[in-house]
Amino acid sequence: MTSSPTLETRSFSVNGRAVTVHVPEDTTLLSALRHDLDLKGTRVGCTEGYCGACTVLVDGRPVQSCNTPLWSVDGKTITTVEGLARGDVLGPVQEAFLLEQAAQCGYCTNGIIMTVTGLLSQNPPATKHEIVEVLDERHICRCGAQTRILKAIDRAIATIGGAAR
Ligand code: FES
Ligand code: FES
């Protein structure tokens, strides 16, 4: 007979809501978001920290949730793609990606939107050059939507601020 794993209690905030989950010690943030909290907007890609599809914001900073242990976000503030819109009004980066049709299959899109949102929300906001460097390092788009993604970043910078260089 196998014994069930010991569960640990983790409390944090997701999209403005305080949550508590009871999970095995090795649970990742990605797993808790998708399976315990039913927030499926955060994608499962490589699960090894290469593709960026699973990116969310932790205290405003873009983080790959697949290799972030849940214990490390205890007490912190998480934002997922579901938390960017206000009712029917999309967040400005979401809106920019929509208007530029900056997706093909869309699998990479949510993670990229979270990274761009985080970088443009910091003070001072990231420049386009800084954003592109981070995307190059931490995100993969296999569909070749990069040109439209760059246009969406320009549009988001024009709306939110940041330097278009
Ligand atoms: S699923 Fe997390 S980086 Fe690929
Ligand atoms: S739009 Fe398909 S992976 Fe980027």
Q: Which of 98, 105, 138 to mutate to test the pocket of ligand 2 (most atoms within 8 A of CB)?
A: 105
Q: In this predicted structure, what is the pLDDT of residue 3? A: 74
- Considering only CA atoms, which of 52, 79, 82 is closest in space to residue 149? 52
With b for 16 or more beta-carbon neighbours within 10 A and e for fewer, the 7-32 pattern comes to: eeebebbbbeeeeebebeeebbbbbb
- Domains in the chain: boundaries: 7-83, 85-165
Q: In this predicted structure, what is the pLDDT of residue 55? A: 98
CB-based contact 114:55 (threshold 8 Å): yes
Q: Which of 31, 34, 50 to mutate to test the pocket of ligand 1 (most atoms within 8 A of CB)?
A: 50
Rounded-to-integer distance, Cα 10 and Cα 16, Å: 16
Q: In this predicted structure, what is the pLDDT of residue 2? A: 66
Taking the CA of 64 as reference, the closest ligand is: 1
Rounded-to-integer distance, Cα 137 and Cα 78, Å: 22
* CATH class (in words) of the domain with range 7-83: alpha beta
What sign has the CA pseudo-torsion 15, 20, 26, 31?
negative
Q: In this predicted structure, what is the pLDDT of residue 34? A: 98
Taking the CA of 139 as reference, the closest ligand is: 1
Q: In this predicted structure, what is the pLDDT of residue 119? A: 97
Q: In this predicted structure, what is the pLDDT of residue 5? A: 80
Average pLDDT, the chain: 95
Q: Which atom of ligand 1 is nearest to the CA of 46?
A: 4
Report pLDDT digits (tens) over 41-95: 999 999 999 999 999 999 999 999 999 999 999 999 999 999 999 999 999 999 9
Q: In this predicted structure, what is the pLDDT of residue 97? A: 98
The amino acid at residue 67 is N
Which architecture does CATH list for 85-165?
Orthogonal Bundle (1.10)
Please tell me the distance between residue 26's alpha carbon and the centre of ligand 1 in angstroms.
17
Q: What percent of the chain has pLDDT over 90?
A: 93
Rounded-to-integer distance, Cα 112 and Cα 118, Å: 10
Residue 165, pLDDT > 90, answer no
